[in-house]
Structure 1
Amino acid sequence: MAETNTPEPQRDDVLANEEDLEKALCVLAGSDPENCSYSRGYVKRQAVFACNTCTPNAAEPAGICLACANKCHDGHDIFELYTKRNFRCDCGNNKFRDFQCQLIPAKDNENVKNLYSHNFSGCYCTCDRPYPDPDDQVNDEMIQCVVCEDWFHTRHLHCTMVEPEELLEMVCEACMNKAPFLWTYAAQFAVVSEKDEKVDVEGEERLQHSSAITNEAPSTSLECKKQEGAETRSLPCKRSHDEMTDSSGKSKTTACKLKDIQAQNVERPRRGAVFWPCSWRSELCTCISCKRAYVAAQVHFLMDESDSVLAYENRGLDEPFGQHPLMAVTSSMTRVQQLEFIYGYKELTAAITAFFHQCAAEKKVVTAEAVHQLFEELQARKRRRTNAGYQ
């Protein structure tokens, strides 16, 4: 093997980069790249895009599905909005003037249940700036609120950050105030920073001894993924028939978990964004009174654990697309296979980087088919080298 002055990547770094790419690709894998999603109505969660060519910033906001981004808006100035919940494809409706959808031409004039934000104009956070921002010299990651689905710079969350691997879902301060009962849960279950480690341990113990089925509160996103797909949780307020009826058979008042927490007089400052552990949704009370409160605050989707972006990404992993070569790295590899992967990683990342740069230069959306083709070409290249080595 030829000598090189480039340091060999550590396997932990390789796996970390693999996980980042896997997450990005799963956003596309969970949506249909061929068929417009309009006929499915307001899709529970899907990848959504906006087209600056057809609906520029000054126009009404509109969103299009993955298939329309691929088929109808090829060559247009498109930007990705990651995922949106309960969204119906706008491609070709009245917001697009004379432009017609090539996949489903006949559509309603507008989708009245769609929710739009400044994201559809390419702006994010409380600072209302684009991403990436050419005028911002601060290297700051952005995190999405699970309620409003806007993206925020970490420095604008007005809270002490914790390590990224400890985060699963975040609710911004504005959304916490729109559903103020969440502050009560935050005092019990929210993730806190390292300097508040003592409080965090106490909160974790309360979470472990609560009504959730899980015995531990995972601290990393990888552990969360395992639990999210593998476990079945019971509703916090689920009661047996005997518990819900008295000796005469009459119904008792169902206990409210929120009131139980409020009775403990646990306080938390009502400021800043809040980060939540893996099982926090299963901790929310689902008694009739609380359900009404979720609906009134328009956060009823929090009762659905499959609503999360993580659950959407996991569905993408279950698709054939989720089984591409980069995702095949497992602990069952032999040492020879591990080394082969590490030495081939540099070439692989170079090819992927060139691929994304080309898409950006040509203003093309990164589609599932294009990624498929990229990996097929890399596999073919590897086979040619292998065959040449045996000749």
Structure 2
Amino acid sequence: MAECKRSSDADGAPVTEEELEQALSVLAGSDPENCSYSRGYVKRQAVFACNTCTPNAAEPAGVCLACANKCHDGHDIFELYTKRNFRCDCGNGRFGDFQCQLTPAKDEENSRNRYDHNFNGCYCTCDRPYPDTDEQDDDEMIQCVVCEDWFHSRHLGCTVVEPEELQEMVCETCMNKAPFLWTYAAHFAVPPVINISHPDEDIEVDVEEEKGEQRQTKEEEPTTSNEHIKHEEAENRSSPCKRTYKEMTGSPLKATNKTVECRLKELQAQGLDRLRQGAVFWPYSWRSELCTCTSCKKAYVAADVQFLMDQSDTILAYEKKGLVEPFGQHPLMALTSSLDRVQQLEVIYGFNELTTSISAFLEQFVSEGKTVTVEAVHEFFEELRARKKRRTNAGHQ
């Protein structure tokens, strides 16, 4: 699935096991103990922003997982999920006199880092915070794989569909920055559902009108009705609005006797198009369909989307690698062995906010030879929520 945030996760409501596993997989792919600065611009890592240390919107900054745990424990932290090609800013010139405890010697700035309004705790085209205390609508947020901003599903400009095959979403703005992606979308992305004037009908409105004209013709010329039916069926098969999801994503172009130098040109020659409106949802395999000829590679670089040619750039690849080859066993897994799986994940999810406090809490039970009870875990998390609420209220005063 396209990566999602739920507003209910942050207001005290229970999170699902799937969401907790996702949170763990994000953390497992990053080093929780050592600042990532020495590794340079990391291909993908968990990134956080500290509103306590860098509250000025003019100087956004991001820190790695280890620095969020060690240097900014107890601070007002924004969880940004993951960012590509990012280098830890902790303690550099954007932090004033604040010094990183793990890697004090840093350049004044990381010139190749890219920042957006996420680093100030705002998301989507509506530029609202997450969680939004003024918003009552429980709307999930979905991340664009190009700009990596998060969008409310209601602000994507399209109907959000959720078949299991879907893995990635590209917002409309990013589609227009790399307009050649619309050609691929017509062939391989999920067909759009656009409501024009009828709530229960999609873009097939014009097709239905054409059918009506054909039916009228059939009444006038009954002897050719079979021909009209065949023509209508053929037209339905060729219309992009009529193609099934399997047809849109299932098979690559059929091989021809001559070698296709540019697949994009081959697709364009087929004349298949789609309405260039709204976000586009893609099956996980869509990147393998992109042409990699010299001309197209230059186009990817010009549009600054060259990472789309890299299969390991995806969030799913990052998560899988983190779970298979983590940066060491998560410190809480062994300590929560007496809990069932859901309870373990509840504890690990809290690691996003206050790792040090959770570890101390569990270590106390281990040292005293006591079993961690469900009641004790729930009481501890209630205290975490209360602490977060106090910080939030203090920020609004």
TM-score by length of 1: 0.70
1:315 maps to what in 2?
321
2:279 maps to what in 1?
273
TM superposition shift of 1:309:
0.5
In 1, are the aligned partners of 2:85 and 2:113 still within 8 Å (CA)?
A: yes
TM superposition shift of 1:21:
1.5
Encode CA deviations 1:185-241: one digit per residue, 9 max, x unaligned.
0000001368779857545335332169xxxxxxxxxxxxxxxxxxxxxxx9xxxxx
Which secondary structure does the structure 1 equivalent of 2:79 belong to? strand
TM superposition shift of 1:182:
0.3
Separation of aligned partners in 2, 1:319 and 1:369: 24
TM superposition shift of 1:167:
2.3
Q: Which residue identity is paired with 2:67?
A: C
The alpha-carbon distance between structure 1 residues 259 and 366, as it changes in their structure 2 partners (threshold 3 A), is farther
Please say if 1:125 is aligned against 2:124: yes
Separation of aligned partners in 2, 1:69 and 1:162: 35
The alpha-carbon distance between structure 1 residues 24 and 355, as it changes in their structure 2 partners (threshold 3 A), is closer
Please say if 1:381 is aligned against 2:371: yes
In 1, are the aligned partners of 2:122 and 2:128 still within 8 Å (CA)?
A: yes
The alpha-carbon distance between structure 1 residues 17 and 38, as it changes in their structure 2 partners (threshold 3 A), is same
The alpha-carbon distance between structure 1 residues 320 and 35, as it changes in their structure 2 partners (threshold 3 A), is closer
1:296 maps to what in 2?
302
Which secondary structure does the structure 2 equivalent of 1:267 belong to? coil
In structure 2, stretches of 5+ residues that fail to align are: 1-14, 194-200, 205-236, 334-338, 374-397
Separation of aligned partners in 2, 1:193 and 1:263: 21
Please say if 1:205 is aligned against 2:211: no
Separation of aligned partners in 1, 2:122 and 2:349: 22
In 2, are the aligned partners of 1:317 and 1:323 still within 8 Å (CA)?
A: no
Separation of aligned partners in 1, 2:303 and 2:357: 36
Please say if 1:23 is aligned against 2:13: no
In 2, are the aligned partners of 1:316 and 1:322 still within 8 Å (CA)?
A: no
In structure 1, stretches of 5+ residues that fail to align are: 1-15, 213-235, 237-241, 245-253, 328-343, 384-391
- The CA RMSD over aligned residues, in Å, is 3.7
Separation of aligned partners in 2, 1:86 and 1:381: 42
1:230 maps to what in 2?
none
Encode CA deviations 1:297-343: one digit per residue, 9 max, x unaligned.
0000000010001100001110368988x99xxxxxxxxxxxxxxxx
Which secondary structure does the structure 2 equivalent of 1:279 belong to? helix
Please say if 1:37 is aligned against 2:36: yes
The count of corresponding residues between Structure 1 and Structure 2 is 309
1:251 maps to what in 2?
none
Which secondary structure does the structure 1 equivalent of 2:122 belong to? coil
In 2, are the aligned partners of 1:33 and 1:368 still within 8 Å (CA)?
A: no
Separation of aligned partners in 2, 1:93 and 1:172: 32
2:179 maps to what in 1?
180
TM superposition shift of 1:75:
1.8
Greater CA radius of gyration, 1 or 2?
Answer: 2
The alpha-carbon distance between structure 1 residues 210 and 366, as it changes in their structure 2 partners (threshold 3 A), is farther
Q: Which residue identity is paired with 1:79?
A: F
Identity %: 67
Which secondary structure does the structure 2 equivalent of 1:19 belong to? helix
1:80 maps to what in 2?
79
Which secondary structure does the structure 1 equivalent of 2:191 belong to? coil
In 1, are the aligned partners of 2:31 and 2:327 still within 8 Å (CA)?
A: no
Which secondary structure does the structure 1 equivalent of 2:88 belong to? coil
Encode CA deviations 1:335-382: one digit per residue, 9 max, x unaligned.
xxxxxxxxx86xx6467657767x79xxx44579849959x97x9738
